[in-house]
Amino acid sequence: MSYIHSILRQGWGSAAKVQLRSSLCVCSLLALVLSSCAISYKFNGASIDYMTTKTIQIDPFPIRSTYVWAPMQAIFNNKLTDIFAQQTKLKQVKRGGDLIIAGEITGFDQFNKGVGRDGYSSQVQLKMTVNVRFTNTKKHSEDFERQFSATSEYDATQQLINVQEELVTQMTKDITEQIFNATVANW
């Protein structure tokens, strides 16, 4: 402020005007930058007491359905471990976890969803079902065994083999989010 007062006392010569304008521009820019700063928080929904719960054991989920597409097991197991690794601070262990998730893929079925004018199927629905056993060794009242499922549809003119990977990936994402919410997002 004393700088501005000295310029005002000296008079409004062209050099003084330029200095004043540049000073005001710098101050305005600084005020704009400071006011645009914000603190960003990421909320992932996990409500875990990290003081007591430090580890998670995620057992591989084998396929126990009538129809088997072998890559489905790896896609599901990888996505399930990834969601807990990315959205929690829990250390993943092979045995003796504070939280234990186990189960199996029990269903992979397709159904006719819609019939066209010609009497043939026009839409096919694919359904994936997973049985989950959850154990919280620190709070057994949260233990459960439950089925989770997801569906996806595709046009009957397509062959399942051509859309299977994309559909399984979508259903796996949906089911793993359901499992995450049921196990550690208690809200």
Please tell me whether residues 21 and 77 are part of one structural domain: no
47 part of a folded domain: no
Enclosing domain of residue 23: 2-36
44 part of a folded domain: no
Q: What is the pLDDT of residues 79-120, one digit of tens each?
A: 999 999 999 999 999 999 999 999 999 999 999 887 777 777
Euclidean distance between CA atoms 142 and 99, whole angstroms:
10
Please tell me whether residues 138 and 62 are part of one structural domain: yes
CB contact set of 149 (below 8 Å; sequence gap of 6+): 107, 127, 128, 129, 130, 175
94 part of a folded domain: yes
7 part of a folded domain: yes
Q: What is the pLDDT of residues 10-69, one digit of tens each?
A: 555 555 555 655 655 555 544 544 444 433 233 445 678 899 999 999 999 999 999 999
Q: How many domains does the chain have?
A: 2
46 part of a folded domain: no
